[in-house]
Amino acid sequence: MQIVADQNIPALSSLLADAGSLSLYAERQPPAHLLAEAEVLLVRSVTRVDEALLAQAPRLKFVATATIGTEHLDLAALAERGIAVASAPGANADSVGEYVLTAVLAHYQRRQQLATLADKEVAIIGAGNTGRAAGRRLAALGLTVHYYDPPLLQKGAVPPGLEVHDHWQRVLNSDIISCHVPLVTAGPHPTHHLLDIEALQSLHSGHLLINASRGAVIDNQALLTCCEQGDCPGLILDVWEGEPAIAVALLEHVSIATPHIAGHSAEGKVGGALKVAEALYAFLQRPFTADADSVLPACPWPTFDATQIASLEDLAALALHRYDIWRDDALMRRDGGTAAGFDQLRKQYRKDNPRRQFNNQRIACHNSQQFEQFLQLGFNAVRAQS
């Protein structure tokens, strides 16, 4: 099989060693000479697989994206051509959940307001894999978490124990709002500009608005207008409308700004690669036995005792020690204002020092309450030796 893949999907050379001939591309769109021979195409969200691309790929049989969303794939055109399609739902959910947890802790720590967190109510927009990963971690901090997901309610597919509703005003009344939905432009529940000028004008400086889903879920121009008018909510933006060409003026109003890397932990990126590799082997009707441990290096972090993390200040210090989100913010403000700079930040993201997930951090716990809390926060909770 002639396999063409985005070079920023990690570990493919080892994961697909016996699947066929692998060619990698570096730009947003694969070059024509590779598409002409491609039987398999493996992409990320930056590559648009549409009629124009398919016209250049007459031999294409299988397309997979190493991302949760598929809005960059023209599914109708692919189906018409009889091309099999796969995605990677849930692959980087824990990475996004840790991003949200760390960003919330960093935001309130910088404002010396960590002590107020327990009184906050959190609305998670979207109760899918990433939304639940974020919500679970915030609930472990003691926050009240609920989920806005009308489509899930209509399907009657609400997971047990999850508070899911369709009350939009309750979302807008919440202290923290975190977006975790795909970009949907049509149908009964569109998410494009879900937070429009009317919704944004109901928010104020006491709110914190987070977007780690798709940029156009929030109307960025309306958001900029609201911020320039005065009472702007706290903002944590990992995704931006019009990426990679963003509204640069919005940067100065954002508390934490990053270049669409919430899911880019080493584990999250390898998780996406594993999903597309597994899907390809299933398409080829061949067994697939690789796992994350076979391609990720060991993470030699020392064990912490739970008594060392006795407060939210301690937890924030640990989270920021393991994931320095302020470094990503600084690079975004320095280089992310141009399309080329934004793309480069994503391509080169932490190649010198990959971001590792909190599940590599062992926490020795002395009782069930500690064990459950640190497990819910995403750490590797273990029982302390007596």
**Residues labelled catalytic:** 214, 243, 260
**DSSP H or E run through 85:** strand 84-86
CA distances (Å), 281 to each of 5, 225, 290, 343, in order? Answer: 15, 49, 11, 30
Helix, strand, coil percent content, the chain, rounded in steps of 5: 40, 15, 45
The Cα 49–Cα 123 span in angstroms is: 33
Strand 21-25 relative to strand 362-365, pairing: unpaired
Tokens of 43: 């992409």
Q: What SS3 state is found at 76?
A: helix
Ordered alpha helix ranges (H), the chain: 12-15, 32-35, 51-55, 75-80, 93-110, 129-140, 150-155, 168-173, 197-201, 220-229, 266-283, 312-322, 325-335, 339-347, 368-377
Whether the Cβ atoms of residue 178 and residue 134 lie closer than 8 Å to each other: yes
Residue 11, helix vs strand vs coil: coil
In sequence order, which residues have a C-beta less than 8 Å from that of residue 263 and are 6 or more positions away? 67, 68, 91, 92, 93, 95, 96, 99, 130, 212, 269, 272
